[in-house]
Chains A and B, each alone.
Chain A
Amino acid sequence: MTRVRVLMSLAAVAVGIGLWFALTAPPDALQGGYSRLLGIHPPSMWVAFIAFGVTALGSVMWLVKKTDRWDRLASASVEVGVIFTAIGLFTGMVWGQAVWGTPWDWQDPRLMSTAVMFFVYLGYIALRNAIDDPVVRARRSAILGTIAVVQVPLVYFSVNLFRTLHQTQSIRPDGSTMPDEMLLAMFVNMGAFMVLYAALMVARIEVAKSEAAAASESTLAGEAVRPPRLSEVEDV
């Protein structure tokens, strides 16, 4: 638990620093103060992509090794990834309303593919919750986790593949399209969000370990059932 506290404290400091950078970055000439969402929206999605990639890694490793820690890694990463995706979608809609005049554009492939990805991983969580047997749960979610990761590159590259309202990548091989202060704010927040991701992952994995330990304690057959106290039947 000490490790979790240390990481959470680090994450709080990192996020605080990131927010400071985001709030003190100069506003965009066209978007005004909304450009500061650069400190939340892209980092959230970046972390979500990494999280789902980690899930795929954990899933493949579980299928190969069949050890619990890979399953814990995969499932914890999905839960954290879904949270960051939700933050990304929400901040994206707020930003879209401000800049495009609408929170949602049906014809935007980045939005649509992100929403689809979000629901697929919600389905992953629902699938895990529906299965009691830990091995069956690990196997089925490992298969889904391995397949579902295909969406991540589709979402990321959708802005390049299709015409979209959404901004294309800000950082390209030939340089950046953003002022340095904004770029710095974005990178600092990416780092901060990665620390937050790590902290949440460690916390969630610790909880999963405790849950598994508690479950294994109570699965020893017959331990929880004692002989009845027949002489006290009348006293109930």
Chain B
Amino acid sequence: MFNPSKHQILVVDDEPSIRESIAMLLTFSGYDVSVAEDGFTALQQLRRTLPALILSDLNMPQMSGYELLSIVRRRFPQIPTVAMSGAYQGDNVPPGVIADSFFAKGENPTNLLATIAGLVRTSETWASAHQKEVAPAWIPRNGNDSQGVPYLVVTCAECLRAFQLPVVEETTGAVLEAPCRFCPSRNRYIIEPLGTRIHQLFA
């Protein structure tokens, strides 16, 4: 078994039984483990200390894993990330999810441990790769404007000014690009897919 040498893992899941079960497995595998119940709590923890890896559920209230993982990639590109969910199957990272690997809940925990060990071992390589490209922002829906058109608000990564964009089509997690209304930069973003909030009710 890979010797984790007390690398710290942050586990983010809103379901206490799942969060604690994963934390327990990682603890007895030799990792230091901290936990958070949603994206906002995870970001609070990142103000105190940066873990060697973040393992996050996707469907959570307050701030989802989709949004958290996007923020982590842009603010902390040196941290490798693993997304997990019971709503997807297979090993591939689902569309619209910005993570280095994916774990489907219900799969063999040995696979999860092997994935984490591999990412921690090669974290410097991942950090270098992440820093070469600005990750797209994952943007929650804002509702409809006065014309009844769905819209979202994009904050330019360069000048930090915010501007409104209409949602003209469903993009199911595709990475889009929009020019900033104020400066010459272009912003890559992913729109929260329809139904994500509905999943939260049943996750």
The answer to whether A and B interact is no
